[in-house]
Structure 1
Amino acid sequence: MFVPLKGAWALVFGVSSGIGRQTARALAEAGCNIVGVHFDLAEGRDRAERDAGELAAECGVEAHFFNRNIAAKEARAELVPVVRELTSGTGLRIVLHSVAYGTLTSLLPGEGDDGSPGVTPRQLTMTVEVMGHSLVYWIQDLVRAELLPRGAKVFAMTSAGGSRVLSGYAPVSAAKSALEAHVRHLAVELAPRGVAVNAIRAGTTVTPALRKIPGSERLIARCREINPGGRLTRPEDVADAIVTLSATDSPWLTGNVIGVDGGEALVV
């Protein structure tokens, strides 16, 4: 059964840019109140504050954005009670984990003076912790606080790079692989509660995170050429899918990696 999202609450990680930013707007346009978490320096922080004000003014919803490190337990200790207060204890309809913060490098040292030194233990641990394991820690705390009611939806953004080899993407690939494993296990463990958990695998989408990947321009050009839809994936495409999937009480679509890519993965 489809239900309106007006008055519901969403928790969006990575709300200040790319897919997280666009999904927050799409959910707000559907009437959903937004709690956003991001981790930015001055320029990104100011932009996020403006976004929150615009969502509230234009969509008539509540929008509360916090500049915090989502991987820090202190952030969870601070913000979970805030979520409880804002939602009056009724909990969250949607949780979106759209986090792009990690090290882009190869696993092994490169050749020559300009080669990569190879990933360090600290870099690898940080990348997997932030982009993968943080989902588990937040869901643990939200469950303990009884903020994931029956019908809630959890989405985690993954990528084709979780199962393919892209130059300089190795630590992030490991994080995405861990994230997909967590999605499967969380889906099974949350099934008795009626909470659905899915990973969203967006097609090649031009975001600030993509631009940082070595060789991204070549990847963009190739995927634009081969995508059956004749263009790249846009943040709006992903946002529309998440809004649609959130507008049902059914928990039966769970534990999947859902491609939102116009068929790109079929022809790569």
Structure 2
Amino acid sequence: MSRPETKANLLEGYRGLVVGIANDRSIAWGCARAFHALGAELAVTYLNDRARPYVEPLAAEVGAPIVMPLDVAVPGQMEAVFERITEVWGALDFVVHSIAFSPRETLAGRVTDVPLDGFLKTMEVSCWSFIRMGHLAEPLMKSGGTLFTMTYYGSQMVVENYNVMGVAKAALESAVRYMAAELGPKGIRVHAISPGPLATRAASGIPEFDELLDKARAKAPARALVSIDDVGAATAFLAHRAAKLITGQVLYIDGGYHIID
């Protein structure tokens, strides 16, 4: 597995929040490792006490001075994280939002049959939480910054078994565009990163996911699957000031899979 170059501290002096690390196969962990390798300082969150033993060693590996619980469905936890960042750093350069959730019975069923409570929970965690993070990060990005979220091809095309999550990701990508327009005058850029299929814990809930991986490997022009380090390296590049005029994008990191019928 390739890793980001560590020779140049291109992001030295940058400070960012990474949300969504569950274990060492998480996309959020690939991002954290890339940012750290390029010199950035990180704040890291974990979902709950069950996840804490898996995340804390990874946070220590990247030297994160802020490690806190964050379940976006628990009132006050998101605000507490940003209050702590304000106390410790007083500023923020980037946020990586790499979380999504849909109740199992909601995700497994047809979009046509989705119950209201399942739909609202899916949208709250998978879309609204990113909007809220943008709201909380805005006053900390006094000199500009970048907000990242993770999406998937199923937002644009019907992917079997992706179901209501495709609807949520479409809403998320639209939010990225509106937020980019609203925050751009302050130098804050907003992006959705769209990796190809990855064998993460979140993906394990999608039926027939192994078949999806095989299809992506066979059809992508690069004839290869993306890694969490590939995603991390591209995300870290977009946080640099060299990318200051790139905003509102859905960036596919999938070996070109999305261009193939």
Q: State TM-score, norm by structure 2.
A: 0.89
Aligned mate of 2:203, from 198, 206, 210: 210
Determine helix, strand or coil for the equivalent of 1:206: coil
Within a 5 Å distance, the mapping from 1:250-261 to structure 2 comes to 250-261=243-254
Distance 2:111 2:169 in 1: 19
Distance 1:82 1:249 in 2: 29
2:183 counterpart residue number? 190
Taking a change above 3 Å as real, the CA distance of residues 142 and 24 of structure 1, as seen in their structure-2 partners, is: same
1:130 counterpart residue number? 125
Distance 2:65 2:28 in 1: 14
Query: What is the identity percentage for the equivalent residue pairs of Structure 1 and Structure 2?
Result: 28
Distance 2:162 2:125 in 1: 15
Query: Alpha-carbon deviation of 1:31?
Result: 1.5
1:77 counterpart residue number? 79
Cα contact 1:3–1:247 (8 A) shared by 2 = no
Query: Alpha-carbon deviation of 1:250?
Result: 4.9
Cα contact 1:128–1:171 (8 A) shared by 2 = no
Distance 1:197 1:230 in 2: 29
**1:4 and 2:10 aligned:** yes
Cα contact 2:111–2:164 (8 A) shared by 1 = no
- Aligned residues, how many? 249
Determine helix, strand or coil for the equivalent of 2:42: strand
Cα contact 1:149–1:195 (8 A) shared by 2 = no
Q: State TM-score, norm by structure 1.
A: 0.86
Query: Alpha-carbon deviation of 1:65?
Result: 2.2
Cα contact 2:100–2:122 (8 A) shared by 1 = no
Within a 5 Å distance, the mapping from 1:1-268 to structure 2 comes to 4-17=10-23, 18-40=26-48, 42=50, 44-56=51-63, 62-87=64-89, 89=90, 91-103=91-103, 104-107=107-110, 118-143=113-138, 146-248=139-241, 250-268=243-261
Structure 1: 5+ residue runs without aligned partners?
57-61, 110-117
Cα contact 1:69–1:75 (8 A) shared by 2 = yes
Larger Rg: 1
Distance 1:3 1:68 in 2: 29
Distance 1:120 1:165 in 2: 20
Determine helix, strand or coil for the equivalent of 1:134: helix
Cα contact 1:55–1:63 (8 A) shared by 2 = no
**Any idea what the Cα deviations from partners look like across 1:71-108, whole Å, max 9, x if unmatched?**
43411221111011121x1x111111111322322236
Distance 1:80 1:13 in 2: 12
Query: Alpha-carbon deviation of 1:222?
Result: 0.8
Structure 2: 5+ residue runs without aligned partners?
1-7
Distance 2:111 2:100 in 1: 22
